[in-house]
Structure 1
């Protein structure tokens, strides 16, 4: 069994925090409490590196259509082991249609890395404040997601996902992608300054995963800062393997010890329109129908698909 090796890295300076607290004391109870938390928890956070490439095996099983990404991750991990250093992943942009498993892959990557996970939905983001925080002088101001994760979390290298990044919108006063020019470069990310706490934070160890349906709307300078991957829908064979693994896990989870977790061709044919992210719910429904009918195996009749999302928004099948 592979484990994550951890080293310690400070993500801010206690003297800077103390100075900031003295400057702001009394103006905002919430900000004072945030500074005091920073002082109480201290600046040191874990930076994890998987001890073996074996940690990528479950990802290859669960996300077989991500083989190109995983091959590059394996090379990065080998370099980390060879140099006895941390595993600094280049920011990743995953391109693919809805349902191919981009966010699921990122969650499993965080598990493999032995670190934390943060999801920031960009489709409704009209300002960069969610990432960078807002000035403490503003009414209702608060810390951004990046600084909050690094201060409240235990790790300096969480996996942070910016979901549907091509849908971020802004105005001439506020560009929600502007902060990424600094955050996606390790050198400048070391001195990231959240507008709310106004203290330099070392965000250089964050593992960035951005997802999008296409590169349209993403500025070229940002694309140049990332490794870009086109993620295809799983092949029929890959999708069948995913379905079998999900069903086997559900049988164990539900303690259906005498249930046959095999999937015949007729069942797989009926499951073909189902996107990978919807498979678990669909198979859970199938199990319910089979058990209600007194059977201990699935048939094609158990696959009762719900109506799709409508014209122009069809599912990505396998």
Structure 2
């Protein structure tokens, strides 16, 4: 599946927690850092830096055929090109792995043998679909998410603040700020989490003195 929506609404956190709650191994890949297809496909032996892809490494190391592979911000991966003009985009490298008919007998470039990769659960996130190719999108169930409203942010602040042990005064101040500026400044969960962390640090500092 592909979770598409604005930044800071919890897509990455939900994806990371999914594996823990299901009790299966998780492999995380950052689209901004791992831009080439080698991270999922691996590379052929013969090169000093050759290695199998991260999903297959997870399967082999955990002895679990159905891990969750999370690829965060897939739209930011780009398409690296070699000096010979060959492209090695992350989205393109995923095509045979996302199609069950080809994933069931996928050949690893590193081990040069076939593996059944069809049991992997893929969870991808994006902030925009504009740069992603149509063949790639056609292989995914796309869930379009919207950002939380002001009421959602206040509820989150109250719940998370109580979990962190913040005082009623601190929580009241944070909720008041959210109520006043949420719509004008397009606040998201990440902003509110930072407010809570700042309040937590300030409360801890006061206790030390």
TM-score, normalised on structure 2? Answer: 0.82
Q: Counterparts of 1:219 and 1:143 in 2: how far apart (Å)?
A: 25
Counterpart for residue 285 of structure 1: 198
Query: Aligned to 2:171, which of 263, 270, 281?
Result: 263
Counterpart for residue 152 of structure 1: 61
Counterpart for residue 150 of structure 2: 236
CA RMSD of aligned residues (A): 2.3
Equivalent residues in 2 for 1:202-281 (5 A)? 202-251=116-165, 259-260=167-168, 263-264=171-172, 266-271=173-178, 272=182, 274-281=187-194
Deviation, structure 1 residue 290: 3.1
Inter-CA distance 279–119: structure 2 relative to 1 (3 Å threshold): farther
In structure 1, stretches of 5+ residues that fail to align are 1-91, 295-318
Query: Aligned to 2:45, which of 116, 123, 136?
Result: 136
Relative contact order, higher structure (CA 8 A, sep 6+): 2
Q: Counterparts of 1:104 and 1:278 in 2: how far apart (Å)?
A: 14
Inter-CA distance 125–239: structure 2 relative to 1 (3 Å threshold): same
Shifted more, 161-170 versus 130-139: the winner is 161-170
Deviation, structure 1 residue 150: 0.8
Determine if contact 1:128/1:174 at 8 Å carries over to the other structure. no
Deviation, structure 1 residue 204: 0.9
Q: Counterparts of 1:130 and 1:115 in 2: how far apart (Å)?
A: 20
Report the number of matched residues: 196
Inter-CA distance 178–267: structure 2 relative to 1 (3 Å threshold): closer
TM-score, normalised on structure 1? Answer: 0.56
The secondary structure found in structure 1 opposite 2:159 is helix
Inter-CA distance 285–97: structure 2 relative to 1 (3 Å threshold): same
Equivalent residues in 2 for 1:63-212 (5 A)? 92-168=1-77, 169-171=79-81, 172-176=85-89, 177-212=91-126
Q: Counterparts of 1:261 and 1:93 in 2: how far apart (Å)?
A: 40
Larger of the two Rg values belongs to structure: 1
The secondary structure found in structure 1 opposite 2:171 is coil
Determine if contact 1:122/1:165 at 8 Å carries over to the other structure. yes
Deviation, structure 1 residue 205: 1.3
C-alpha offsets along residues 266-292 of structure 1, whole Å, 9 cap, x if unaligned?
421324455313544431320232344
Determine if contact 1:244/1:262 at 8 Å carries over to the other structure. no
Runs of 4+ in 1 over 6 A off after TM superposition: none
C-alpha offsets along residues 262-317 of structure 1, whole Å, 9 cap, x if unaligned?
832x42132445531354443132023234446xxxxxxxxxxxxxxxxxxxxxxx
